Chain A
Amino acid sequence: DGGITQSPKYLFRKEGQNVTLSCEQNLNHDAMYWYRQDPGQGLRLIYYSQIVNDFQKGDIAEGYSVSREKKESFPLTVTSAQKNPTAFYLCASRDREPSYGYTFGSGTRLTVV
Protein backbone atom coordinates (compact mmCIF):
# COMPACT_ATOMS: atom_id res chain seq x y z
CA ASP A 1 0.00 0.00 0.00
CA GLY A 2 1.21 3.51 -0.72
CA GLY A 3 1.89 5.91 2.09
CA ILE A 4 4.33 8.11 3.94
CA THR A 5 6.80 6.69 6.38
CA GLN A 6 8.45 8.80 9.04
CA SER A 7 11.26 7.57 11.21
CA PRO A 8 12.10 7.33 13.97
CA LYS A 9 8.83 7.53 15.88
CA TYR A 10 10.61 8.89 18.96
CA LEU A 11 13.91 10.74 19.02
CA PHE A 12 15.94 12.16 21.85
CA ARG A 13 18.51 14.84 21.19
CA LYS A 14 21.17 16.30 23.38
CA GLU A 15 21.64 20.03 23.56
CA GLY A 16 23.82 21.28 20.71
CA GLN A 17 23.35 18.20 18.57
CA ASN A 18 21.99 18.05 15.02
CA VAL A 19 19.46 15.34 14.24
CA THR A 20 17.81 14.28 11.00
CA LEU A 21 14.22 13.13 10.69
CA SER A 22 13.39 10.85 7.80
CA CYS A 23 10.33 11.13 5.54
CA GLU A 24 9.78 8.75 2.63
CA GLN A 25 6.71 8.43 0.40
CA ASN A 26 5.79 5.97 -2.33
CA LEU A 27 2.70 7.83 -3.48
CA ASN A 28 4.51 9.45 -6.39
CA HIS A 29 3.53 12.83 -4.96
CA ASP A 30 5.37 15.89 -6.18
CA ALA A 31 4.95 18.14 -3.16
CA MET A 32 6.17 17.37 0.33
CA TYR A 33 5.92 19.36 3.57
CA TRP A 34 7.29 19.48 7.08
CA TYR A 35 5.18 20.76 9.95
CA ARG A 36 5.78 21.21 13.63
CA GLN A 37 3.05 20.82 16.22
CA ASP A 38 3.40 21.91 19.83
CA PRO A 39 0.99 20.79 22.57
CA GLY A 40 -2.38 22.44 22.17
CA GLN A 41 -1.22 24.29 19.08
CA GLY A 42 -1.94 24.12 15.40
CA LEU A 43 0.45 22.92 12.72
CA ARG A 44 3.14 25.34 11.64
CA LEU A 45 4.93 25.01 8.31
CA ILE A 46 8.71 24.60 8.47
CA TYR A 47 9.71 23.85 4.87
CA TYR A 48 8.07 22.60 1.73
CA SER A 49 9.17 21.27 -1.63
CA GLN A 50 7.12 21.26 -4.81
CA ILE A 51 9.61 19.38 -7.00
CA VAL A 52 12.92 17.59 -6.72
CA ASN A 53 15.93 19.79 -5.99
CA ASP A 54 13.74 22.70 -4.96
CA PHE A 55 12.42 23.71 -1.56
CA GLN A 56 11.07 26.83 0.13
CA LYS A 57 11.04 28.14 3.67
CA GLY A 58 7.82 28.05 5.57
CA ASP A 59 6.78 30.18 8.52
CA ILE A 60 9.31 28.84 11.04
CA ALA A 61 12.34 27.69 9.03
CA GLU A 62 15.02 29.09 11.34
CA GLY A 63 17.13 26.34 12.88
CA TYR A 64 16.02 23.74 10.33
CA SER A 65 17.34 22.52 6.98
CA VAL A 66 16.02 20.16 4.32
CA SER A 67 17.04 18.51 1.07
CA ARG A 68 15.06 17.02 -1.81
CA GLU A 69 17.45 14.96 -3.87
CA LYS A 70 14.84 12.32 -4.68
CA LYS A 71 11.12 12.62 -5.26
CA GLU A 72 10.42 10.02 -2.59
CA SER A 73 12.50 11.55 0.18
CA PHE A 74 12.40 14.84 2.11
CA PRO A 75 14.58 14.64 5.24
CA LEU A 76 14.50 17.39 7.86
CA THR A 77 17.56 18.28 9.92
CA VAL A 78 16.98 19.99 13.24
CA THR A 79 20.16 21.92 13.90
CA SER A 80 21.65 23.16 17.14
CA ALA A 81 20.49 26.63 16.12
CA GLN A 82 16.88 25.61 16.82
CA LYS A 83 16.47 26.78 20.40
CA ASN A 84 13.30 24.95 21.27
CA PRO A 85 13.17 21.78 19.17
CA THR A 86 11.02 19.62 21.44
CA ALA A 87 7.83 19.05 19.42
CA PHE A 88 5.86 16.65 17.26
CA TYR A 89 7.08 16.76 13.65
CA LEU A 90 4.79 15.79 10.82
CA CYS A 91 5.68 15.17 7.19
CA ALA A 92 2.99 15.41 4.53
CA SER A 93 2.70 15.06 0.79
CA ARG A 94 0.08 15.81 -1.82
CA ASP A 95 -0.66 14.94 -5.39
CA ARG A 96 -0.54 17.54 -8.14
CA GLU A 97 -4.27 18.15 -7.72
CA PRO A 98 -4.77 19.68 -4.25
CA SER A 99 -8.44 18.85 -4.09
CA TYR A 100 -7.46 15.33 -3.09
CA GLY A 101 -6.05 16.61 0.16
CA TYR A 102 -2.82 15.86 1.90
CA THR A 103 -1.47 12.64 3.36
CA PHE A 104 0.47 12.71 6.59
CA GLY A 105 3.13 10.45 8.01
CA SER A 106 2.66 9.15 11.55
CA GLY A 107 5.04 11.74 12.96
CA THR A 108 8.28 11.92 14.92
CA ARG A 109 8.25 13.06 18.51
CA LEU A 110 11.51 14.86 19.25
CA THR A 111 12.62 15.57 22.80
CA VAL A 112 15.70 17.47 23.89
CA VAL A 113 17.38 15.92 26.92
Chain B
Amino acid sequence: RKEVEQDPGPFNVPEGATVAFNCTYSNSASQSFFWYRQDCRKEPKLLMSVYSSGNEDGRFTAQLNRASQYISLLIRDSKLSDSATYLCVVITSGAGSYQLTFGKGTKLSVIP
Protein backbone atom coordinates (compact mmCIF):
# COMPACT_ATOMS: atom_id res chain seq x y z
CA ARG B 1 0.00 0.00 0.00
CA LYS B 2 1.39 3.40 -0.96
CA GLU B 3 2.08 5.77 1.90
CA VAL B 4 -0.27 8.48 0.72
CA GLU B 5 -2.86 7.88 -1.98
CA GLN B 6 -5.13 10.21 -3.82
CA ASP B 7 -7.52 9.80 -6.71
CA PRO B 8 -5.66 11.56 -9.54
CA GLY B 9 -8.86 12.70 -11.23
CA PRO B 10 -9.37 14.79 -13.19
CA PHE B 11 -12.55 15.97 -11.56
CA ASN B 12 -14.47 18.10 -14.04
CA VAL B 13 -17.28 19.94 -12.29
CA PRO B 14 -19.55 22.84 -13.24
CA GLU B 15 -19.36 26.15 -11.45
CA GLY B 16 -21.35 26.13 -8.23
CA ALA B 17 -20.95 22.40 -7.68
CA THR B 18 -19.73 20.79 -4.49
CA VAL B 19 -16.76 18.49 -4.87
CA ALA B 20 -14.94 16.28 -2.36
CA PHE B 21 -11.48 14.74 -2.44
CA ASN B 22 -10.19 11.97 -0.24
CA CYS B 23 -6.67 11.00 0.68
CA THR B 24 -5.64 7.86 2.52
CA TYR B 25 -2.42 7.34 4.44
CA SER B 26 -0.78 4.15 5.60
CA ASN B 27 1.19 5.15 8.71
CA SER B 28 -1.10 5.27 11.73
CA ALA B 29 1.55 7.29 13.62
CA SER B 30 1.26 10.22 11.21
CA GLN B 31 0.61 13.36 13.16
CA SER B 32 0.06 16.38 10.91
CA PHE B 33 -1.98 16.72 7.77
CA PHE B 34 -2.38 19.42 5.18
CA TRP B 35 -4.00 20.22 1.89
CA TYR B 36 -1.89 22.16 -0.60
CA ARG B 37 -2.99 23.70 -3.85
CA GLN B 38 -0.73 23.69 -6.89
CA ASP B 39 -1.49 25.69 -10.00
CA CYS B 40 -0.02 24.63 -13.31
CA ARG B 41 3.75 25.18 -13.42
CA LYS B 42 3.74 26.84 -9.99
CA GLU B 43 4.85 25.83 -6.52
CA PRO B 44 2.45 24.20 -4.04
CA LYS B 45 0.83 26.61 -1.61
CA LEU B 46 -0.67 25.74 1.74
CA LEU B 47 -4.44 25.67 1.54
CA MET B 48 -5.31 24.46 5.00
CA SER B 49 -4.22 22.30 7.88
CA VAL B 50 -6.42 19.37 8.81
CA TYR B 51 -7.48 18.66 12.38
CA SER B 52 -9.39 15.81 13.98
CA SER B 53 -12.16 18.20 14.90
CA GLY B 54 -12.45 19.32 11.30
CA ASN B 55 -11.87 22.85 10.13
CA GLU B 56 -13.56 25.21 7.76
CA ASP B 57 -12.28 28.18 5.83
CA GLY B 58 -14.97 29.82 3.76
CA ARG B 59 -16.05 27.38 1.07
CA PHE B 60 -13.42 24.82 2.08
CA THR B 61 -13.84 22.17 4.76
CA ALA B 62 -11.16 19.68 5.78
CA GLN B 63 -11.71 16.58 7.88
CA LEU B 64 -9.43 13.98 9.42
CA ASN B 65 -10.55 10.45 10.23
CA ARG B 66 -7.79 8.80 12.21
CA ALA B 67 -9.61 5.52 12.66
CA SER B 68 -9.93 5.01 8.91
CA GLN B 69 -6.71 6.89 8.12
CA TYR B 70 -8.02 9.33 5.61
CA ILE B 71 -8.41 13.05 5.21
CA SER B 72 -10.90 14.85 3.05
CA LEU B 73 -11.35 18.22 1.42
CA LEU B 74 -14.77 19.56 0.51
CA ILE B 75 -15.17 22.55 -1.77
CA ARG B 76 -18.61 24.14 -1.91
CA ASP B 77 -19.90 26.49 -4.60
CA SER B 78 -16.93 25.81 -6.89
CA LYS B 79 -15.41 28.77 -8.73
CA LEU B 80 -13.43 28.76 -11.96
CA SER B 81 -10.45 29.93 -9.90
CA ASP B 82 -10.56 26.71 -7.87
CA SER B 83 -9.18 24.84 -10.88
CA ALA B 84 -5.85 23.42 -9.73
CA THR B 85 -4.23 20.26 -8.44
CA TYR B 86 -4.86 19.56 -4.76
CA LEU B 87 -2.08 17.78 -2.89
CA CYS B 88 -2.55 15.84 0.30
CA VAL B 89 0.46 16.07 2.64
CA VAL B 90 1.14 13.89 5.66
CA ILE B 91 3.84 14.44 8.26
CA THR B 92 5.20 11.60 10.35
CA SER B 93 7.82 11.95 13.04
CA GLY B 94 10.40 9.37 14.02
CA ALA B 95 14.06 9.04 14.97
CA GLY B 96 14.35 12.73 15.66
CA SER B 97 13.15 13.87 12.27
CA TYR B 98 9.95 14.61 10.42
CA GLN B 99 9.05 12.86 7.20
CA LEU B 100 6.88 14.78 4.80
CA THR B 101 5.00 12.66 2.29
CA PHE B 102 3.01 14.05 -0.62
CA GLY B 103 0.18 12.46 -2.48
CA LYS B 104 0.40 12.74 -6.25
CA GLY B 105 -2.44 15.21 -6.30
CA THR B 106 -6.01 15.37 -7.53
CA LYS B 107 -6.68 17.60 -10.51
CA LEU B 108 -9.80 19.72 -10.40
CA SER B 109 -11.21 21.55 -13.41
CA VAL B 110 -14.18 23.82 -12.78
CA ILE B 111 -15.99 24.50 -16.04
CA PRO B 112 -18.37 27.35 -16.86
Contacts and interface: CB of A to CB of B under 8 A. Distances in A.
Interface of A: 31, 33, 35, 41-43, 45, 50, 56, 88, 90, 94, 98-99, 101-107, 109
Contacts of B87: 42-43
Contacts of B89: 101-102
B42 interface: yes
Interface of B: 31-32, 34, 41-46, 49, 87, 89, 91, 93, 97-98, 100, 102-105
A109 B41 CA distance: 9
Contacts, number: 48
Contacts of A88: 41
Given A31-B98, A42-B103, A50-B97, A102 B43 contact: no
B91 A98 contact: yes
A35 B87 CA distance: 14
B104 A41 contact: yes
Nearest to A41: B104
B45 A104 contact: yes
Nearest to A102: B100
